[in-house]
Amino acid sequence: MLAKRIIPCLDIKDGRTVKGVNFVDLRDAGDPVELAEIYSKEGADELVFLDISATEQKRKTLADLVYHVAEKVNIPFTVGGGISSVEDVDILLQNGADKVSINSSAVKNPKLINDLVAKFGSQCIVVAIDAKQIDGEWIVHLVGGRVPTERKLFEWAKEVEARGAGEILFTSMDHDGTKDGFANRALAKLSDELTIPIIASGGAGNIQHFTDTFKEGKADAALAASVFHFKEIKIRDLKKELQKEGVTVRI
């Protein structure tokens, strides 16, 4: 069985790591390069960096950050935020990123997924999907969760897979930052209906939540931010507990 992955997520705003609740009320959580190095040493399997303030003017800043992170860590890392072209991805991969994550740009131009896969291969293309429940239906949202679309989570996820993406990073906006646990029912349905790996995001508050999302949510990886940034959970302790619960992880 493939090992389940633990992935700290670093939301970047103006060059700093930040964390909020339900995508708002951001607070500073430290220097992203320093945090990346710490997590790499502590046993994280991968890292995700999301530039939540990304604009065209800041693309060079993000590329510089990627370069400095690549100098310090020896685990794979994914970068996302405002990526909308083959050129954007080329720059980030050349500076040391292993994968890129696209979100709004994929919804607005689904062919972008095909283009990126054709150029760089599916293994380095992650499609992030932010969704929340409205009248019992999971609805895809854009712009950091502020703009609802007509896309429904499961239909869009299937299209993403069909277009060649290598992974899906699913964030439940209803759970984000709440520390009440992951959206395991939706995650399990995604895992049942798709063949590509699903990364769970949104809601980690304790070690049991990780166990639950691997067992009940059938997630391939679990991503979290504040519980790691503010040292509420240590990655080594988390992996030891997961192993005790019969979850296959790399120690």
Per residue in 210-222, pLDDT tens?
Answer: 999 999 999 999 9
Checking if the pLDDT of 233 tops 80, the result is: yes
Q: Is residue 172 part of a domain?
A: yes
Q: Determine which one of 88, 130, 176, 220 is catalytic.
A: 130
- What domain count does the chain have? 1
* pTM listed for this prediction: 0.94
pLDDT in tens, 8-24: 999 888 778 886 555 45
Q: In this structure, is residue 250 part of a structural domain?
A: no
Decide if 212 is inside a domain: yes
| Lookup: tokens for 59 | 């693309």
| Per-residue pLDDT at 28 | 72
pLDDT-above-70 percentage for the chain: 94
CB-CB contact of 196 with 168 (8 Å): yes
Domain membership of residue 251 (yes or no) is no
pLDDT per residue as tens digits for the range 56-89:
555 677 899 999 999 999 999 999 988 999 999 9
Is residue 62 one of the residues assigned to a domain?
Answer: yes
Residues 80-109: tens digit of each pLDDT:
988 999 999 999 999 999 999 999 999 999
| Residue range of the domain that includes 210 | 5-244
The three-state DSSP-derived secondary structure of 173-187 is: CCCCCCCCCCCHHHH
SS3 call for 39: helix
Predicted local distance difference test score (pLDDT) of residue 21: 54
Contacts of 18 (CB under 8 A, 6+ apart): 11, 12, 26, 27, 28, 29, 52
- Do residues 235 and 39 lie in contact, with contact meaning Cβ atoms separated by under 8 Å? yes
Contacts of 150 (CB under 8 A, 6+ apart): none
CATH code of the domain containing 20 = 3.20.20.70
Active-site choice (11, 45, 212, 220): 11
Give catalytic status of residue 237 as yes or no.
no
pLDDT at 214: 98
Domain presence at residue 249: no
Mean pLDDT value across residues 151-161: 98
